[in-house]
Amino acid sequence: MTFLVLGVDAATWKMIKPNLDELPNWKRLVEECDAGTVELEEKPLSPLIWCGMFSGTYYKEHGHKDFVVDGDIVKREDLDVDFFWDKLDVDARALNVPFVVPTYSYNVDFEPVGYGLPTTEEEWNKELEKVTEKTKEELEEKPDVLVSVFTTLDRVQHFHWGEDMVLDWYKEVDKKLGEVLFETGFLGDESNKLILVSDHGFCSFGEAEVQTLPEETKHGKLKGDHHEEAVVITKNVERKIDEPQDVYRAVMDVFG
Ligand SMILES: [Zn+2]
C-alpha cells in the first residue's frame, strides 16, 4: 500500500469543472473518487499553505508565509516545524514541495526545474515531464507515503489567467495525471490511498483577496492571483479533507 499525496499547485475547479470533456483524467478522477473543495481560512499563500498541509500546524504556529524574508531566501532549516515525513518511522518521501524555493525534497534525489519557479514554456513542460517521471519511479518502489507536487499551473495562471492557453496547460497536466495515477495501475490497486490537492485556487488579479506578487514583474504583467477555494480529490481516505491540515491528519491516521 502506498499513500500518495499529489499536489497540483493552484489547480482550480473554475478551470476543471467546465472543461471536463476535454480533461479525461480529471473527469475520471471526479467520477471514481471523492471530489470536493477546501475553503481556505488562512491566507492563500503557497508557502504558508503547503507548510501547514504537511506539518498539521497553522500560520500562528509555523510562522511561514514568504519565500524571501528580509532579502534572504527562507530554507527548510529556518522553519521550526516537523513535517509528517520527519516524524514517521515509515518509508516516507517527498519531491518538489514548494513551501520553499528551490522546492524541497525528502528521501528523493530531485533537482527542481527553474529553481522551483519554472517561468518559460520550456520549463513548464520540463517540470511536468520531470515530476511525472520521478513520481512514477518512486511509486514503483512502493514507499509507504509519497508526496509529489506539480507547480506549473500556478506559474501559467499568474501570467496567462483568462487566456485560452491556460486550458492547454490543464490538458498537459491531465495527461500527466493519467500517466501517474492510471497507467501505472496505482488507482487500480484498491489498497492504495490518494489525496490530490491544490494549495489554493485562482482568480483574476484584481479579484484576489491577497496580492501574492507585484502586478509588474520582470516576466511581464500579472493577470491572475490566488483564490481561497482549493481542489481536493481523495480515494480510500476516511478523513474528510476540509482544510490543508487535514492532509497531515489523514496521513497520521494511517501511520502515526
Ligand atoms: Zn500555490
Q: Where are the domains of the chain?
A: 3-255
pLDDT at residue 249 above 80? yes
Interval between CA 45 and ligand 1 midpoint (Å) = 6
Interval between CA 152 and ligand 1 midpoint (Å) = 10
Interval between CA 183 and ligand 1 midpoint (Å) = 27
Interval between CA 111 and ligand 1 midpoint (Å) = 19
Fill in the amino acid letter for 97.
V
pLDDT at residue 95 above 90? yes
Helix (H, G, I), strand (E, B) or coil at 126: helix
Average pLDDT, the chain: 96
What number is the average pLDDT over the span 216-234?
89
Fill in the amino acid letter for 177.
L
Which residues are registered as beta bridge partners of 216? 221
Interval between CA 30 and ligand 1 midpoint (Å) = 21
What number is the average pLDDT over the span 41-63?
97
Cα–Cα nearest to 95, from 111, 114, 80, 84: 111
pLDDT at residue 220 above 80? no
What pLDDT, in 10s, does the model give residues 171-214?
Answer: 999 999 999 999 999 999 999 999 999 999 999 988 887 788 77
The grid cell for 155 is 506559474
Has domain 3-255 been given CATH number 3.40.720.10?
yes
Interval between CA 199 and ligand 1 midpoint (Å) = 5
**The model's pTM:** 0.96
CA 26 to chain centre: 15
Interval between CA 154 and ligand 1 midpoint (Å) = 6
Rounded CA gap, 223 and 204, in Å?
Answer: 6
Q: What is the pLDDT of residue 209?
A: 76
Q: What is the pLDDT of residue 213?
A: 77
Q: Give every CB contact of residue 143 below 8 A, 6+ residues apart in sequence.
A: 2, 91, 92, 93, 107
